[in-house]
Structure 1
Amino acid sequence: MVLVASVLLVLSAAACGEDGGGASSASTPVADFNEADVRFASEMILHHQQAVQLASMAGYQARSAQVKRLAATVGAAQEPEIKTLSAWLAGWGKPTPQQAHGHDEELPGMMTQDELHDLGDVPGAAFDRAWAQWMIKHHQGAIAMAKAQQTAGKSPAAVALAKKIELTRTKEITTLRQHSSTR
């Protein structure tokens, strides 16, 4: 509940700043940051954007209702985190990355455009298995990024989000493993 309130405070402050309301970086709980925090926020936005894309693919292509539900959960969790990370970058006076294909594929667990295309061509129940296997790799990448943030980050809010990402993605991997090897 405290995290939700913090996120709402950050989003409210960012919205005021965009509307010319003059929100200062001191009014956000993430004013104290370092380069590791900026890198984490920027790279995690790109990582999350691909996870949302993968969730969308499963939403219309998966056969299993369980995989569709899991995909919906993944997408629903990552959209608000993208907004939070973007608000932090704005509050820190840093640019928000756009989905750019190229260097973002070098991030841990990211799929190339060819791999995404190939996944889209997998038919039927084989798609569910392949999607789950890719999401496991993707989540493992997010966990690695989150652990690095917990070690190097300065912003308490960014470190807290990194801990949350590590915990939730670890739990989701357990569920995904059930779908990656069966059916």
Structure 2
Amino acid sequence: MTARRTFVRRTALAATTAVAALALAACGGDGGHDMGSMESDSSPSTSTSASASAEAGEHNKADVDFATEMIQHHRQAVEMADMAAKGASSQEVKDLATKIKGAQDPEIKTMSGWLTSWGEEVPEDMSSGMPGMDHDMSSGMPGMMSGEDMDKLEKASGTEFDKMFLDMMVQHHEGAIEMAKGEKADGEYGPATKLADDVITAQTAEIEQMNKMLGKS
């Protein structure tokens, strides 16, 4: 009888162990499935993130036009600033010209990089001496000076230069702000609309400064 009871106990223990092993295996299978689900679930998230990045880089015709025209607009402002470094009599005017050039030169490079990355042509430098280039290009952009205006500024000196430079640069900045507002309304490329914001903020402040220097406010 004792031997029989021992045998029965051992048989029951073996059966219990087998059931426990099966349960663990089932759990392990479920865990593997959960990990697979987690990996699968992470894929759409990664895909969505990549899609968002691609969307942020999209651009349209308004962005191309803005970059193309603002490059030329900035180049003329830089050319005027270079004239001020030589012809201005006021140190305040010279300092302002240095500030304008320091801000707009890097923006020209940035916008040229956009056009190149989009497979678009970077416009010729209007100050390169091509006959009629500056006059022709000025007609399509607000605030641009004609070739005649630029000649007058270059020939001026002393306080006459200072006043002429400030008057012309106020007009030039107002044109740039108008162009920037157009980009904000119609553009699609995030960095371009951000640059348009920066142009509006910086040049509005400079217009106020120049009007004070002219005694207009």
Q: Report what 1:104 is aligned to.
A: 137
**Runs of 4 or more above 6 Å deviation:** 27-30
* Residues 1:33 and 2:62 aligned together: no
Match of 2:190 among 149, 156, 160: 156
Matching residue of 1:94: 120
Aligned position for 2:167: 133
Q: Distance in 1 between matches of 2:123 and 2:72?
A: 7
Offset, 1:138: 0.2
Map 1:159-178; keep pairs closer than 5 Å. Answer: 159-178=193-212
1:67 corresponds in structure 2 to: 93
Distance in 2 (CA, whole Å) between partners of 1:153 and 1:82 is 18
Deviation track 1:119-170 (CA, whole Å, cap 9, x = no partner) reads 1222311110110000000000000000000000000110000010011000
Matches of 2:54 and 2:108 in 1, distance apart? 17
CA gap 1:28/1:71 in 2 versus in 1, 3 angstroms: farther
> Could you tell me the TM-score, scaled by structure 1's length?
0.81
For the residues of structure 2 that align with 1:29 and 1:82, how far apart are their CA atoms? 24
Greater helix share, structure number? 2
Structure scoring higher RCO (CA < 8 A, sep ≥ 6) equals 1
**In terms of Rg, which structure is larger?**
2
Percent of pairs with identical residues: 39
**Matched-pair contact (CA < 8 Å) for 1:30–1:88:** no
Alignment-derived partner of residue 11 in structure 1: none
Aligned partners of 1:28 and 1:43: how far apart in 2? 25
- Number of corresponding residues: 157
What RMSD over aligned residues (CA atoms) do the two structures have, in Å?
1.9
Unaligned ranges ≥5, structure 1: 1-26
